[in-house]
Amino acid sequence: MSFWSLRAYALRRSLRLLARRPGALLLAVLLAGVALTLPLLAATVAVGARPLVAGVPAAPELSVFVAPGTSGPQIRGLQSRIEALPGVMQVRHVPREAALAELAARSGLGASLAELKSNPLPDAFIVALAPGVDPTAVDAAAAAIRKMPGVDTVQFDSAWYRKLVGIARIALTGSAIVGGALLVLAAAVVIGAVRLLATASGEEIRVLRIVGADEGFIARPYAYVGGAVLASATALAIGAVAAVLRLLNPALTELARLYGGADFTIPMLPVQVLAGLILAGLSIGFLLGTLGVGRPHPPKP
């Protein structure tokens, strides 16, 4: 009984606190909501664009051309040795016949190629390394493959991969810093709003401590306010992202059509995820609200 009566009291107090400074709290919701919008939009775009980027090889691939005259068993042995190299995820053998057929199909030179007396193309391997592997590891794998008997040429655009990895690292680090800073800003806004309320209610808090209220009893209404502010800010950010996507998606669809692709739109995150985000906002806001009230300084001797 006491458990619920304490929380019912805290809920009534938190509603009074919300009513006491509605302007300041609405401003806090707005600020925290704006701060949360960008990371949420980035996450939504990242998840929504996944099908689009699925066709782009994220892992570096080496093209290994086998020396002419290499026998079938030698080719199979070579494949085994390449597969045994560290960092190699997959080795796909492209037989010379298949390579010629693909060239004929893609180039439109099928008739001319058919007149050739022999197939000029070698057997080849497409060697996929682990996604995001360090460029020096790719160079090391290429060098090791070059030394293997039966290998004619190894092709890999090392400079391009280095640039790609560099750009990806900068983008990831930048996103993490900006996203983290915005999340910290949202947290600071909630703590600041609650601290403002607690400072304005300093007399009440002093009285509560004198009459024997424990810190949980004192902090709970403020924790509820913190939870309400961050949950509302999260809901606001979700609404803002939905509005941005509503504006963005027609242009994206049109762009995809111009590039000959199918209709493409970035969908909102699933409802369950959005509900989870609001619940997370409520819980984290509760903790931030508790932090915002602060603890009494122990008296000095």
Partner 1 sequence: MSTAAPMSVAPIESPAPLVVFDHVTKRYGAFRLALAELTFAIGRSEFVLLCGPSGAGKSTVLRLVAALEVPSSGRVVVAGEDVARLRPRALPFLRRSMGIVLQDPMLLDDRTVLENVMLPALASGLPAPQAEERARAALTRVGLDALTARPQELSGGEQQRAALARAIVNRPALVLVDEPTAHLDAASAAGILQLLEQFAVAGVTVIVASHGESILVPARARTIRLDNGRLVE
Residues of this chain that interact with partner 1 (CB under 8 A) are 1-3, 5-6, 8-9, 16, 203-204, 206-217, 296, 298-301
Token pair for 162 = 């280095």
Tell me whether residue 24 or residue 269 sits nearer to partner 1 (CB atom): 24
SS3 126: strand
Q: How far is the CB of 228 from partner 1 (least distance, A)?
A: 20
Q: Which lies closer to partner 1 via its Cβ, residue 12 or residue 76?
A: 12
CB 33 within 8 A of CB 117: no
Half-sphere exposure (Cβ direction) of 166: Cα atoms closer than 13 Å: 7
Cβ closer to partner 1: 106 or 297? 297
Catalogue the long-range contacts made by 209-214 (C-beta closer than 8 Å, 24 or more residues apart): 209/296
Least separation, in Å, of the C-beta of 26 and partner 1? 21
If the CB atoms of residues 65 and 224 are measured against partner 1, the closer one turns out to be 224
Closest approach of partner 1 to the CB of residue 6, in Å: 6
d(CA 301, CA 298): 9
What is the smallest separation between the CB atom of 196 and partner 1, expressed in angstroms? Answer: 17
The distance in angstroms from the start CA to the end CA of the chain is 39
CB-count exposure of residue 14 (10 Å: 0-12, 13-18, 19+): buried
Minimum CB distance to partner 1, residue 274 (Å)? 33
Contact 236, 283 (CB under 8 A): no
Identify the helix (H) or strand (E) that includes residue 221. Answer: helix 215-258
Comparison of 3 and 259: residue with beta carbon closer to partner 1: 3
Least Å distance between CB 202 and partner 1?
Answer: 11
Residue 126 main-chain phi, psi, to 5 deg: -105, 115
- The Cα–Cα gap between 205 and 202 comes to 5
**Complex with partner 1: residue 221 or 227, whichever CB lies closer:** 221
